[in-house]
Amino acid sequence: MRTSTPHWLTCGFRPFFFLGALAMAAGVLLWLPMLTGHLTLPTAFAPRDWHVHTMLFGAMFAIIGGFALTAVSNWTGRPPVQGRELLFLVAVWCLGRVATASSGAIGGLPAAFVDLAFPASLVWFFAREVIRGGSSHNTMIVATVALLGLADAAFHYEALVLGYADYSTRAAIAIILMLVILIGGRLVPNFSRNWLRNRGRDALPPAFNRFDAIATGVSLLALVAWTAFPEAVASAALLLVAGGFNAARVVRWQGWRVTPEPLLLVLHVGYATVPLGFLLEGYALLVPSTLDPVAALHTWLVGTFGTMTLGVMTRAARGHTGRPLVADRGDVALYVLALMGAAARIAAPFTHGNFHLALDIAGSLWIAAFLGYAASYAPVLLGKPLKG
């Protein structure tokens, strides 16, 4: 008897964008009452570490996995990972979330093994597809996912053995940020060039060239130094230099010219938070008395990761399901909510006695953005694609 694959299991972006958006919202929705002591989870992690792990290795890993599973099919020309294999990945990811949330009951080590099964499985599937597709030049995605998986393993070690996940947290942020710099740094100007060319515009933004390669190298050097030596003056200086290089990239891409299309503009705005984060974090490390480094760090955590993921998820969901690459009012509302949430989180330390109120506002905006995405895109991600 012939059975058909459910639509939500036909491509990686479908389940993982939906689940990633839910995890993005849940990671803050539960964190806010945990922060004030009104909620306790049976996790072996400290509340802060559970929050960080859920956002970086739960939500972001799901979204990265969904994007990469879809992209690797295009890169290799092979059919996408789907059906039972995709269901297996979804189940492993879900088990990882349950295991980390209940690690205080089942034990930290068993929970770590369950959680790490997802990155290990992703690496295996990606490596298989790249090898079978004869696409060895795309091994970068395999290596990047493997590095993020190693950072996850290090996070478990630091959190459970040392009591606080420090180096692994910065390593994960650096790896994800480099993905934005590498992949976003190619897609954003290319999308802009195509959009402007299709409208007969001239003086197109430059394609990836030597300047972009230098900016990428400087960014990598700065992030490695920051990960290993976060309090060193040299690390702060490198962050500032990387901020300058990435700011120049943003200007070169001429994002103001694509203002009529929010689906493209949001990627420019999201990437603009990359140099802003470099500059603010570098400054905060040099003069912590005037700017909280943790608040500066949320320029990346909320501004870059939040805005870029929403931009990529809306665009990819539309493009891969036969819908026009044009943002509607609902999409624009999601982008605005995410950006307002980022601004509120960065400004929170400056609200004096209203710090927790500012966190609640920032968190509520973030939750609304990602729950809004999950609700509005559920029919797109989990339903049938439009007929051509």
Alpha carbon distance 42, 104 (integer Å): 5
How confident is the model at residue 2, as a pLDDT? 46
Residues contacting residue 257 through CB under 8 Å, at least 6 positions apart: 192, 196, 201
Q: What does the CA dihedral 123, 125, 131, 133 come to, rounded to 10 degrees?
A: -130
Alpha carbon distance 66, 144 (integer Å): 14
Same domain, 184 and 327: yes
DSSP at 303:
I
Contact between residue 222 and residue 235 where contact means Cβ atoms under 8 Å apart: yes
Closest to 253 (Cα-Cα) out of 310, 347, 305, 184: 184
pTM summary value? 0.94
How confident is the model at residue 387, as a pLDDT? 56
Same domain, 365 and 299: yes
Residues contacting residue 180 through CB under 8 Å, at least 6 positions apart: 271, 274, 304, 305, 308
Same domain, 239 and 145: no
Same domain, 171 and 203: yes
Same domain, 327 and 377: yes
Domain count, the chain: 2
13-29 and 83-101 are packed helices; what angle lies between their axes, rounded to 10 degrees? Answer: 10
How confident is the model at residue 40, as a pLDDT? 93
Alpha carbon distance 312, 184 (integer Å): 9
How confident is the model at residue 195, as a pLDDT? 92
Residue where a domain terminates, one of 148, 165, 182: 165
**Token representation of residue 211:** 């300047």
Residue where a domain terminates, one of 125, 146, 165: 165
**What is the C-alpha R_g of the chain?**
20
Alpha carbon distance 236, 65 (integer Å): 31
Same domain, 296 and 339: yes
SS3 288: coil
Same domain, 142 and 176: no
Same domain, 159 and 236: no
Closest to 258 (Cα-Cα) out of 196, 207, 332, 319: 196
How confident is the model at residue 334, as a pLDDT? 96
**What is the domain extent for residue 4?**
1-165
- In this prediction, the residues of the chain whose per-residue pLDDT falls under 70 are 1-3, 136-137, 385-388
Same domain, 110 and 182: no
Q: How many CA atoms lie within 13 A of 129 on its CB side?
A: 26
Same domain, 159 and 235: no
Residue where a domain terminates, one of 165, 184, 202: 165
How confident is the model at residue 388, as a pLDDT? 43
How confident is the model at residue 355, as a pLDDT? 84
How confident is the model at residue 140, as a pLDDT? 79
Same domain, 44 and 70: yes
**Token representation of residue 126:** 């990606």
Query: Token pair 């290090």 is at which residue?
Result: 154
Same domain, 154 and 247: no
**How would DSSP label each residue in 49-93?**
HHHHHIIIIIIIHHHHHHHHHHHHHHHHTPPPS-HHHHHHHHHHH
Contact between residue 338 and residue 310 where contact means Cβ atoms under 8 Å apart: yes
Q: What does the CA dihedral 341, 347, 351, 357 come to, rounded to 10 degrees?
A: 20
**Token representation of residue 244:** 């300058």
How confident is the model at residue 386, as a pLDDT? 65
Contact between residue 21 and residue 371 where contact means Cβ atoms under 8 Å apart: yes
310-327 as b/e: b if 16+ CB within 10 A:
bbbbbbbbbebbeeeeeb
375-379: long-range contacts, CB 8 A cutoff, minimum separation 24: 376/330, 376/334, 377/17, 377/18, 377/21, 377/313, 377/314, 377/317, 378/18
